[in-house]
Amino acid sequence: MRVMGVDPGLTRCGVGAVVGRTGVPLELIAVGVVRTGADDPLPDRLVALEAGLEHWLDTVRPEAVAVERVFSQHNTQTVIGTAQASGVAILCAARRGLPVSLYTPSEAKAAICGSGTADKAQVGSMVTRLLRLKEMPKPADAADALALAICHVWRGGNQQRLASALAKATRGRAR
């Protein structure tokens, strides 16, 4: 499964793509950020973000996209901009017909580090190890995007295994 993760933001929108499936080592496809100018007007920033994400989707050609879920209890100064950026990211993926999954930061951390309260350094360290990278992806938004993509590979894989196990069990009972 080729998955692109997006850690939405206006100043730095983290993007990271991996290929993998449960039980097989993950491979990095690409990682980076889409940046927009902090002093630019909001409409220009959203247009630039859309163009940047479209370029990533064209390049990475993912089968699924995982986007971090935005909560309003986050920093209220920036939460509206982050929500707008997430809306653009979800839109770009969904109108291509790609399945979009939303994960909370805790879900991504728990999937990668075993704890929903792991800090940025732990997430970066685990992403680096899981993808066998020489150094930690920077900035943290880029590492977070990879964590979302990995979370989706594993949870997607597990969900599929669970679904097929359940289907098998149901067929067994039906016989």
Would you list which residues are annotated within the binding site for Mg(2+)? 7, 68, 141
Residue among 12, 18, 15 nearest 45 (CA)? 12
Verify binding: residue 71, its own copies, rule CB under 8 A. Answer: yes
- Quick check: 123 and 137 in contact, CB under 8 A? no
Residue 113 CB, nearest approach to its own copies (Å): 25
Verify binding: residue 50, its own copies, rule CB under 8 A. Answer: yes
Verify binding: residue 66, its own copies, rule CB under 8 A. Answer: no
Verify binding: residue 157, its own copies, rule CB under 8 A. Answer: no
Catalytic residue positions?
Answer: 7, 68, 141
Query: What distances in angstroms separate CA 128 from CA 11, 27, 69, 104, 117, one per listed residue?
Result: 24, 11, 23, 21, 18
- Closer Cβ to its own copies, 66 or 140, answer by number: 66
Q: Rounded to 5 degrees, what angle do the CA atoms 42, 89, 67 make?
A: 125
Binding site residues, its own copies, CB under 8 A? 42-44, 46-47, 50, 70-73, 76, 79-80, 83-88, 90-91, 93-95, 100, 102
